[in-house]
């Protein structure tokens, strides 16, 4: 797709020599200096470019690196890339720039994961948290715990060396308290990583109600697009329709669901079963009732199943009620159903701004540490869970008064687990698993 400007990056020890062969002013190339000039292939001008050279190790990858800013016409971009490849470069693999940065000590795995999330983030809070992690928020917590464990291991081993001197470097009571603190810290980090994982996939909010109350019309109104089929015929929606939106800066998966009522066929019954499961799994619901009609047993059943959820009850089709009767009618319904009803109209848009505000408030109340969650892939999360379990086991060893040699060995195992999280100890398979999820060019 054409653009005003394209950025082409090249990293490796031959970067400077490759670009010098085809840039009109090679002598002007200097570290971190933007240089304007022409790019040639066999005396044929390809484009006017701006060139920046980064000398190792002061670059993103830690290697010599070149950034070429050209015009964004795809024909020009292809010519430049072809030229660089003819001179000895090759296409980068997914995540290869960041992988080289990791291997050259420019960042650890927690920062690499954060960079990947910045690129893929679909919500404001994701970007904020990922930037914080990129700058070391998770790494600092892991390193602090690791340093505490190294000191504890040194105290335990000193007790072994001076066992005949009757010198106690670390009492069991103190060790138990310190291990409890480490266990609690790992538990907190793990919880924050799981919140980050949940937020990055989006928070599921189903729109539920009996058939023909306007669920699909409400989804279309929120999206400002005709995404779901709308019909006067009850039971039009028989499957889950998922769409992504943002509320209060959070990435949210809205689901239009099958209406809950008496199924007219097997397909409709399966759709209702999916809706019930979605209600069970979700922590926030948008429940729709038709205030232009009398309440039904289906309305009451759905309300009963959502009593323990954060639930917004939309009184849709309020536009069909005469203005002078609206307040009394809604009060009567609220008393009958024992809920607060938000007057709403999918036709006119009445109540939409209040709905968006209420959903945002619910998200913030359910995620009070929204600025402090972390991002971790499944490998990191497993290592954290293993580390938490290991910390609990070591605490029990101290409680039972086990020999210090055994405790020292287990402490080193826990230290190694923390090394795996930041990447000091990492297998090639783990690195492939992490960086293959990156986009090409990052």
C-alpha 41/C-alpha 366 separation (Å) is 59
The residue among 240 and 55 whose pLDDT is bigger is 55
Between helices 137-161 and 404-422, what is the axis angle to 10°? 160
pLDDT at 86: 93
Mind listing the pLDDT tens digit for each residue in 146-165?
999 999 888 888 766 555 55
Rounded mean pLDDT, 226-243: 53
d(CA 253, CA 40) in angstroms, rounded, equals 49
Q: What is the pLDDT of residue 49?
A: 94
Judged by phi (left if over 0) then psi (alpha if -120 to 50, else beta), residue 178 lies in alpha
Residue 236, pLDDT > 50, answer: no
267-300 residue pLDDT tens? 566 766 677 777 777 788 888 888 888 777 877 8
214, 191 contact by CB (below 8 A): no
Mean pLDDT of 397-403: 90
Residue 430 has pLDDT above 90, yes or no: no
Q: 34-51, pLDDT tens digit by residue? A: 999 999 988 889 999 999
The Cα 312–Cα 358 span in angstroms is: 8
Predicted local confidence at residue 281, as pLDDT: 77
Q: Tell me where in the chain the CATH 1.20.120.430 domain(s) lie.
A: 137-199+376-414
The pLDDT tens digits for 21-38 are 999 999 999 999 999 999
Summarize pLDDT for 114-148 with one digit per residue, the tens.
Answer: 998 888 887 777 888 889 999 999 999 999 999 99
Per-residue pLDDT of 71-105, as tens digits, reads: 999 999 999 999 999 999 999 999 899 999 999 99
pLDDT given at position 306: 77
Q: What is the mean pLDDT of residues 205-212?
A: 84
DSSP characters for 56-117?
TTSSSSSS-EEEEEEEE-HHHHHHHHHHHHHTT--PPPBTHHHHHHHHTTS--HHHHHHHHH
pLDDT confidence of residue 371: 56
Where are the CATH 3.30.1360.120 domain residues in the chain?
A: 3-91
Does the domain at residues 137-199+376-414 carry the CATH identifier 2.70.150.10?
Answer: no
C-alpha closest to that of 5 among 52, 49, 71: 71
pLDDT of residue 234: 46
Structure confidence at residue 264 as a pLDDT band (50, 70, 90): low
Q: What is the C-alpha to C-alpha distance for residues 6 and 70, in angstroms, rounded to an integer?
A: 5
- Predicted confidence at residue 99, as pLDDT, reads 93
CA-nearest of 131, 142, 98 to 425 is 142
Residue 324 banded pLDDT, cuts 50, 70, 90: confident
Task: Give pLDDT, residue 169.
Answer: 62
pTM: 0.74
- Residues 244-257 pLDDT 10s: 888 877 888 888 87
Residues of the chain with CATH 3.40.50.300: 207-366
Confidence of residue 66 (pLDDT cuts 50, 70, 90): very high
Q: Which CATH number fits domain 3-91: 3.40.47.10, 3.40.50.720, 3.40.50.280, 3.30.1360.120?
A: 3.30.1360.120
Give the residue from 95, 82, 97 showing the smallest Cα distance to 41: 82
Share of the chain above pLDDT 70, in %: 90
pLDDT tens digit sequence for 356-390: 999 888 888 877 655 578 988 888 999 999 999 99
In terms of Cα–Cα distance, which of 69, 51, 61, 75 is closest to 12?
61
Which of 10-14, 189-193, 245-249, 316-320 has the lowest average pLDDT? 245-249
**DSSP secondary structure code for residue 439 in this structure:** P
* pLDDT averaged over every residue in the chain: 85
What DSSP line would sit under 251-309, residue for residue?
Answer: EEEEEE-PPPS--SSHHHHHHHHHHHHHHHH-SEEEEEEETTS---HHHHHHHHHTTTS
Identify the pLDDT of residue 291.
86
Architecture in CATH for domain 207-366: 3-Layer(aba) Sandwich (3.40)
pLDDT over 70 at 237, yes or no: no
**Are the CB atoms for 259 and 233 separated by under 8 Å?**
no
């Amino acid at each position: 797709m054409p653009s005003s400007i394209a950025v082409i990056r090249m990293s490796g020890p031959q970067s400077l020599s490759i670009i010098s062969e085809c840039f009109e002013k090679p002598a002007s190339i200097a570290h971190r200096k933007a240089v304007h000039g022409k790019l040639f292939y066999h005396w044929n001008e390809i484009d006017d470019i701006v060139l920046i050279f980064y000398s190792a190790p002061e670059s993103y990858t830690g290697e010599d690196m070149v950034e070429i800013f050209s015009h964004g016409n795809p024909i020009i971009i292809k010519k430049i890339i072809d030229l660089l490849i003819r001179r000895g470069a090759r296409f980068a693999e997914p995540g290869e720039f960041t992988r080289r940065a990791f291997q050259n000590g420019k960042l650890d795995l927690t920062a690499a994961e954060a960079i990947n999330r910045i690129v893929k983030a679909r919500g404001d809070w994701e970007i904020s948290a990922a930037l914080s992690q990129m700058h070391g928020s998770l790494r600092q917590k892991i390193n602090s715990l690791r340093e505490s464990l190294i000191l504890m291991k040194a105290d335990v081993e000193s007790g072994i060396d001076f066992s005949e001197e009757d010198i106690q470097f670390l009492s069991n009571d103190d060790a138990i308290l310190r291990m409890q603190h480490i266990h609690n810290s790992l538990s907190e980090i793990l919880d924050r990583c799981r919140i980050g994982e949940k937020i990055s996939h989006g928070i599921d909010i189903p729109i539920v109600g009996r058939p023909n109350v306007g669920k699909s019309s409400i989804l279309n109104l929120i999206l400002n697009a005709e995404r779901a089929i709308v019909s006067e015929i009850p039971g039009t929606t028989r499957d889950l329709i998922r769409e992504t939106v943002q509320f209060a800066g959070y990435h949210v998966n809205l689901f239009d669901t099958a209406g809950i009522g008496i199924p007219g066929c097997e397909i409709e019954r399966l759709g209702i079963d999916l809706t019930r499961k979605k209600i069970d799994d979700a922590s926030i619901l948008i429940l729709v009732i038709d205030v232009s009609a009398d309440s039904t047993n289906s309305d009451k059943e759905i309300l009963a199943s959502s009593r323990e959820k954060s639930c917004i009850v939309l009184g849709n089709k309020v536009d069909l009620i005469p203005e002078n009767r609206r307040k009394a009618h809604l009060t009567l319904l609220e008393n009958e159903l024992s809920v607060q009803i938000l007057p709403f109209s999918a036709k006119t848009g009445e109540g939409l701004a209040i709905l968006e505000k209420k959903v945002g408030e619910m998200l913030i109340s359910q995620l009070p540490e929204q600025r402090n969650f972390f991002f971790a892939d499944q490998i990191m999360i497993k290592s954290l869970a293993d580390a938490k379990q290991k910390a609990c086991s070591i605490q029990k060893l101290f409680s039972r008064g086990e020999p210090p040699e055994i405790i020292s060995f287990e402490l080193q195992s826990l230290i190694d687990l923390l090394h795996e999280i930041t990447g000091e100890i990492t297998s090639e398979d783990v690195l492939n698993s992490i960086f293959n999820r990156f986009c090409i060019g990052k």
